[in-house]
Amino acid sequence: MRIVLGVEYAGNAFEGFQSQAHGRTVQDHLETAIGHIAAHPVRLHCAGRTDAGVHATAQVVHFDTESVRPNSGWVRGVNSRLSSPVVVRWATEAGDVFHARFCAVSRRYRYILHNSPVRPALLAGRVGWFHPPLDETVMADAARCLEGWHDFSAFRAAGCQAKSPVKLMHEVRVQRTGDYIVFDFWANAFLHHMVRNLVGALVYVGKGRHSTAWLAEVLAARDRSLAALTFPADGLYLCGVEYAPHWSLPGEGRIIAVPRIPFV
């Protein structure tokens, strides 16, 4: 049978999602914990392979097993074997044709940026930081050019393994709450480092280094060397993965709130 789990983790406690020889990844920790409950080794497949330092409030993974456990048993049992930076939020059984990555129809990422002269202490590793003042209205105007079908090569990491750089960006939102600027991205799929590269470019616009038209010019040029530097992973959250309704998955995505008090 195929079991699907909804997973949440603090990415700064791990060296990315994907399994590595050193074992310090989200996948390695989850596979070990699940293997204890399933009583056999398992191999996980995820909706999005987040980088080191990137968090998730709504990651989706699946694995195959012949072991029969109630859904509540997969949740409580696996969690009893996990350290605090990662937790299983829900579990359900799906058909063998379900795949956490290939059946996903869209994904949502949120980047939370602390825009203040002084760096955050209690939120270190959980939010990004940029000390010069930023104009969120200008950034929101510039971001409109990103919506729709586009070739996002200008915002693609050199080592990206995606077959095509063309993605459908459903929506981009930029808004401020106090000292925090929140960037929300909703697309059918994302390239490696795409969100962090887009945030970096929008920050260039927000601090007045480039005009709002510059972002559209970089997008059209499809040249990574023309864009901004990759922004740090600290403030990035995978906060939603959408599937067709017939899968009846319990997770609708959890959007991390804009912090008004420290949430460490």
Give me the active site residues, please: 51
Q: Which two tokens stand for residue 113?
A: 């940026």
Q: Which residues pair with 172 in a beta bridge?
A: 185
The three-state secondary structure class of 42 is coil
Q: Would you list the DSSP string of 191-245?
A: -TTHHHHHHHHHHHHHTTSS-HHHHHHHHHHT-GGGSPPPPPSTTEEEEEEE--G
Specify burial of residue 140 (Cβ count, 10 A radius: 0-12, 13-18, 19+).
buried
The Cα–Cα gap between 192 and 188 comes to: 14
User: Tokens 């330092």 correspond to what residue?
Assistant: 53
Q: Which two tokens stand for residue 205?
A: 């616009």
> How many Å separate Cα 92 from the centre of its chain?
22
